[in-house]
Amino acid sequence: MSKADGGRFFEDFVAGQEIHHATPRTLTLGDVALYAALYGGRFALACSDEFARSLGFPCSPIDDLLVFHMIFGKSVPDISINAVANLGYAEGLFGVPVFPGDTLQVRSLVLGVKENSNHQTGVVCVRTVGTNQRGELALSYVRWVMVKKRDPSYAPPPVSTPVTENFIPPDRLTVPADLDFTSFDPALAGSRYYWQDYQPGERIDHVDGMTIEEADHMLATRLYQNNAKVHFNQHSEGQGRFGRRLVYGGHLISLVRALSFNGLGNAVKLLAINGGRHVAPSFAGDTIYGWTRVEAAWDIPGRSDIGALRLRSFAAKNQPCDEFPGDLDHHPSLVLDFDYTVLLPKRR
């Protein structure tokens, strides 16, 4: 009997179960630099301590999606090491900002399990929560993942299906207390567009494309300590479904977010991840393009300096987005459909 852990299978998950994930993680300026090099993002809040101070932060906070990846990564050994597919997200709410030196600790609550009709796999739904060293919420989100059964003949408990909201409404978003966009400098941020300039239904092609290398996505995924073998092992994956290593879906989210700077430069902070689907797999050699549709524009209660936009960003592979693939229905090049909420300065 080996001490190595083979990870949980479908039958190991029970609704109500709480799982404390190993490997607490201190986030540092080293992680920040690597994240910059992996995606090339240009949002000013994440790049400049001076800019961050002008908005009321003590220094640049850790990029919200880097926080997401770090928290996601910690959950992988316990939740999705035997996953077939990562199906989607909901109710992602960012809490207090995370700063270099903060340490994140992560736990997940099993919300529901549902066997698939093929009896080979099932869907597990968890809420994963990351907190800092003071126990404050950094991020909480729901994830659905399709997990293999250890034994196809196992008869699972009755289906428990959690109900989730389509999006986090504006009055439940967490705006950091000291944040003040009154002196937001759009020239430094790189965009002349304020919250008022975006209209629901508006579409923005982010123009540029970024080609993925094996080294890039593996460096990223190891940095997040996401150890799902499909991303790293060409020897086994070469004999698998795709014949290749699979790119971690979150890598696409960060790529599209970085590309979205062109058109959304003032959207310096994420407040929520309303939903997301990895529509199709990506591989090294794929070039990723992106576009965004504005879904809603919301006031933030009690604030005249900021407003929120609910956005839906789409990523397509090997397909420029000037024709907005996936806008009306599925498109063969589509790889990501990501629904999230961002903070922008309001024009006074």
Binders of its own copies in range 128-167 (CB under 8 A): 133
Q: Which two tokens mark 121?
A: 């796999």
- C-alpha–C-alpha distance, residues 77 and 20, integer Å: 11
List the end-to-end C-alpha distance of the chain, in Å, as a whole number.
67
Residue number with CB closer to its own copies (272 or 309): 309
Which of 14, 157, 188, 200 forms a contact with its own copies (CB under 8 A)?
Answer: 188
Q: Which of residues 247-276 bind its own copies (CB under 8 A)?
A: 262-265
Interface residue with its own copies, options 9, 10, 13, 39 (CB under 8 A): 39
How many chain residues interact with its own copies (CB under 8 A)? 81
CB of 59 to its own copies, least distance (A): 8
Residue 279: what residue type? V
In whole angstroms, give the CA distance from residue 347 to residue 197.
9
Among 190, 277, 283, 327, binds its own copies (CB under 8 A): 190
Cα 143 to Cα 21: distance, rounded to the nearest angstrom: 15
Q: Does 282 bind its own copies (CB under 8 A)?
A: no
Is the Cα dihedral 66, 70, 76, 78 positive or negative?
negative
Phi and psi for 51 in degrees, rounded to 5? -65, -45
Closer to its own copies by Cβ: residue 11 or 237? 237
Q: How many CB atoms lie within 10 A of CB 144?
A: 20
**What is the smallest separation between the CB atom of 132 and its own copies, expressed in angstroms?**
10
- Nearest approach in angstroms of CB 5 to its own copies is 6
Q: Which stretch binds its own copies (CB under 8 A): 88-96, 173-181, 217-225, 337-345?
A: 217-225
What gap in Å lies between CA 175 and CA 177, rounded to an integer? 6
In the window 219-248, what residues touch its own copies (CB under 8 A)?
Answer: 219-223, 225, 227, 229, 232-236, 245
Interacting residues with its own copies between 61 and 120 (CB under 8 A) = 77, 101, 103, 105
Phi and psi angles of residue 61, each rounded to the nearest 5 degrees, phi first = -75, 160
Compute the least distance from the CB of residue 325 to its own copies, in Å: 14
For the record, the structure tokens of 105 come out as 């600790």
